[in-house]
């Protein structure tokens, strides 16, 4: 259900309005949810779109709040871990394809 709502917000191009004029305190729960769900493949694409929008609106100002900066760092770590796992998977697929031939 959450994915459906977020997808509808995205299709209506309402992310800028949704995230605009938020204080760190009101943005933090959104970022915490994003950190929790970013490694779930059902949510990853929409979370990436949300993150781009938030970064576009707030930029480096996000890092001024310590709590927000900590959560963004956590998101960054999780995304990096997912990228490493995808690279490892691609390597294994390549090796399996070589063996299978």
pLDDT of residue 36: 95
Query: Across the chain, which distance is largest between two alpha carbons, in Å?
Result: 57
Other C-beta atoms closer than 10 Å to the C-beta of 7 total 13
Q: Where are the domains of the chain?
A: 2-100
* Model-wide pTM > 0.85: no
CA angle 80, 82, 30 (to 5 degrees): 80
Closest CA to 46 of 11, 98, 87: 11
pLDDT of residue 51: 92
Q: What is the mean pLDDT of each run of 10 residues along the chain (101 residues)?
A: 83 87 94 94 90 91 92 93 92 92 82
Q: Based on C-alpha coordinates, what's the Rg of the chain?
A: 17
pLDDT of residue 91: 94
pLDDT of residue 53: 92
Closest CA to 16 of 41, 47, 53, 67: 53
pLDDT of residue 32: 97
């Amino acid at each position: 259900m959450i994915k459906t709502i977020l997808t509808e917000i995205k299709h209506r191009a309402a992310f800028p309005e949704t995230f605009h004029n938020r204080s760190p305190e009101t943005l933090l729960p959104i970022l915490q949810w994003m950190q929790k769900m970013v490694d779930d493949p059902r949510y990853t694409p929409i979370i990436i779109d949300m993150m781009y929008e938030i970064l576009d609106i707030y930029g480096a100002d996000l890092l001024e709040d310590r709590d927000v900066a900590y959560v963004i760092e956590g998101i960054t770590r999780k995304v990096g871990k997912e990228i490493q796992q995808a690279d490892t998977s691609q390597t294994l697929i390549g090796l399996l394809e070589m063996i299978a031939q």
